[in-house]
């Protein structure tokens, strides 16, 4: 099993943190919020995961800014997110940033997460109850494939 670090930013409802913790448990990975990045020695890990919630179709700016500071030449990375729609295409901005930093993308995961951001709040939000058990199981399967391969 590859030595794995999972960095995440979870803001509104803890959706991304729930997925990050499930992945970390499955992969026996170190987990860290993006705020703690200066204290982490990324060179000690074979693979690094970057996870964030999505706002207006993009990963949180805090994650994008933090990820841009890494030297990732040749480093294996994966990306994950939670959003009201659960679409993997929302990971594109972060994937592009990591690839431009020299990283090698080994996977991308997305699932639904309870969303009350912006105008959606007025209707009570969307994707209530997510991430659910199926989302967590899918996240665990995703990370298992990555750290074992």
**Token duo for residue 29:** 């990975």
Residue written as tokens 């990820």?
Answer: 67
Ramachandran quadrant class, 14 (left: phi over 0; alpha: psi -120 to 50; beta: rest): left
Span between the terminal Cα atoms of the chain, in Å: 8
- Classified by CATH at the fold level, domain 4-148 comes out as Rossmann fold (3.40.50)
Query: pLDDT tens, 26-74?
Result: 999 999 999 887 677 888 999 999 999 998 899 999 999 999 988 899 9
Query: To the nearest whole number, what is the mean pLDDT of the chain?
Result: 93
Query: pLDDT tens, 70-86?
Result: 889 999 999 999 999 99
Q: Is the pLDDT of residue 136 over 90?
A: yes
Closest CA to 78 of 134, 19, 35: 19
Q: Is the pLDDT of residue 109 over 90?
A: yes
Q: Domain locations in the chain?
A: 4-148
Q: Which residue has the higher pLDDT, 18 or 128?
A: 18
Q: Identify the pLDDT of residue 38.
A: 67
């Amino acid at each position: 099993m590859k030595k794995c670090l999972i960095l995440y930013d979870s803001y509104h409802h803890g959706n991304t943190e729930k997925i990050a913790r499930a992945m970390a448990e499955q992969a026996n990975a170190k987990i860290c919020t993006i705020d703690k990045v200066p204290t982490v020695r990324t060179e000690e890990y074979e693979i690094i995961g970057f996870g964030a919630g999505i706002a207006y179709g993009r990963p949180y700016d805090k994650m994008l800014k933090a990820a841009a500071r890494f030297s990732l030449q040749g480093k294996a990375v994966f990306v994950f997110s939670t959003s009201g729609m659960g679409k993997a295409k929302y990971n594109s901005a972060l994937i592009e940033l990591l690839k431009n930093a020299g990283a090698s993308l080994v996977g991308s995961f997305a699932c639904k997460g309870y969303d009350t951001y912006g105008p959606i709040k007025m209707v009570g939000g969307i994707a209530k109850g997510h991430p659910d058990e199926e989302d967590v199981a899918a996240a665990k399967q995703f990370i298992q494939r990555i750290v074992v391969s």
